[in-house]
């Protein structure tokens, strides 16, 4: 089993300059602890996402780490010109020596797309065209494409990715049809949904993957969870119940400003997200057993933890990560 990290890079009470430095220090902890990859969300005009330009933030991550893979989860493609996207991906992959994992999506929030003048109804078509252009530009030295939104005639590409033919591609699944489509395209995926829903996604994914007849190992199927690890269950619960509402306030901030409900809501209290399985906390022993069961029940093979959120301090987050790396990861790998 491999272990990764998901990070909204949500706001804390620190000044912004101090915040970025502290977050990068946390990323260095992930690097030293032996995590596989660090996945960063993209959000705009909201305290949920203080890395609205993932490429800028990840360029710093590339320089502060040695082994850790990293990447956006996801780049919201309707907000990018595909030629610029090709260039940014190639730069990050070269600067990191081939450690980039690149996720693409349509954008989780219609409000954020609208703020940039993008009609959410066009997001699917823009995503499909952008993906075609980006994959072509990463593989070849010239781009030729004719679509509704983009047209390119023999555009030269003077930069290339370190990884060939391109960095591994990731996608966030929220439905059976997206799981099936991702398997057919050979994408790595992460689900943030409950165990029952994720089990359905993973079954659809594996069935579609087997139908492709592709050789080699199946891409990663990830399960993402918010968690806090502490010396005792009581201490972990205290920290999680304090920090989670701060994160949740950031999560709903933009939706409250525009009086619109999110498509994937999160409850206001940590106890509610524990009840539906999308978050948990506890001692290393407690957390190990929860992850062991959720991974088995969901069919996932890649655990993705969200360790830094809300008003968790650097020391609280550091201790959680160190306990997880020292006690939880070895126990689950042995099992």
Domains of the chain, first to last: 2-73+169-334 (3.20.20.30)
Which residue positions in the chain have pLDDT lower than 50?
none
Q: Is 99 exposed, middle or buried (0-12, 13-18, 19+ CB in 10 A)?
A: buried
Q: Given this model, what pLDDT does residue 262 score?
A: 80
pLDDT in tens, 58-105: 999 999 999 999 999 999 999 999 999 999 999 999 999 999 999 999
Distance CA 8, CA 11 (A): 9
DSSP letters, 2-45, are EEEEEE-----SS-HHHHHHHHHHHHHHHHHHT-SEEEE----S
Q: How far apart are the first and last CA of the chain?
A: 9
273 neighbors 281 (Cβ within 8 angstroms): no
Backbone angles phi and psi of 159, in degrees to 5: -130, 145
Across 89-158, where does the E strand assignment appear? 102-105, 142-146, 151-156
Give the torsion through C-alpha atoms of 266, 271, 277, 280, to 10 deg.
110
Q: Which two tokens stand for residue 99?
A: 């450690």
pTM exceeding 0.85? yes
Q: Given this model, what pLDDT does residue 108 score?
A: 83
Q: Nearest to residue 220, comparing CAs of 232, 233, 206?
A: 206
41 neighbors 73 (Cβ within 8 angstroms): yes
Q: Given this model, what pLDDT does residue 235 score?
A: 98
Q: Given this model, what pLDDT does residue 14 score?
A: 81
């Amino acid at each position: 089993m491999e272990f990764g990290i998901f990070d909204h890079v949500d706001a804390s009470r620190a000044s912004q300059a101090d915040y970025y430095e502290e977050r990068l220090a946390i990323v260095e902890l992930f690097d030293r602890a032996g995590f596989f990859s660090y996945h960063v969300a993209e959000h705009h005009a909201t305290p949920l996402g203080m890395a609205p330009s993932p490429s800028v933030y990840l360029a710093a991550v590339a320089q502060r780490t040695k082994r850790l893979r990293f990447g956006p989860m996801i780049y919201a493609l309707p907000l990018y010109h595909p030629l610029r996207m090709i260039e940014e991906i190639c730069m990050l992959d070269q600067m990191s020596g081939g450690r980039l994992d690149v996720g693409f999506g349509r954008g989780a929030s219609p409000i954020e797309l609208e703020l940039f003048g993008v009609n959410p109804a066009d997001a699917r078509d823009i995503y499909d065209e952008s993906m075609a252009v980006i994959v072509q530009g990463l593989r070849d030295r010239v781009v030729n494409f004719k679509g509704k939104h983009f047209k390119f005639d023999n555009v030269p590409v003077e930069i290339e990715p370190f990884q060939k033919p391109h960095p591994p591609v990731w996608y966030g699944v929220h439905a059976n049809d997206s799981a099936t489509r991702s398997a057919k395209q050979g994408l790595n995926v992460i689900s943030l949904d409950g165990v029952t829903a994720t089990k359905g996604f993973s079954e659809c994914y594996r069935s579609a993957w087997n139908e492709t007849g592709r050789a080699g190992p199946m891409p990663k199927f990830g399960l993402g969870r918010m968690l806090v690890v502490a010396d005792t269950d009581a201490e972990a619960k205290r920290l999680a119940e304090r920090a989670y509402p701060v994160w949740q306030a950031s999560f709903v901030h933009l939706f409250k400003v525009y009086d619109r409900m999110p498509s994937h809501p999160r409850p206001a209290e940590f106890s509610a997200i524990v009840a539906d399985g999308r978050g948990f906390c506890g001692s290393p022993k407690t957390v190990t057993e929860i992850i062991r069961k959720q991974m088995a029940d969901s069919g996932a093979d890649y655990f993705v933890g969200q360790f830094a959120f809300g008003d968790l301090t650097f020391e609280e987050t550091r201790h959680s990560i160190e306990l997880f790396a020292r006690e939880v990861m070895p126990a689950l790998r042995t099992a």
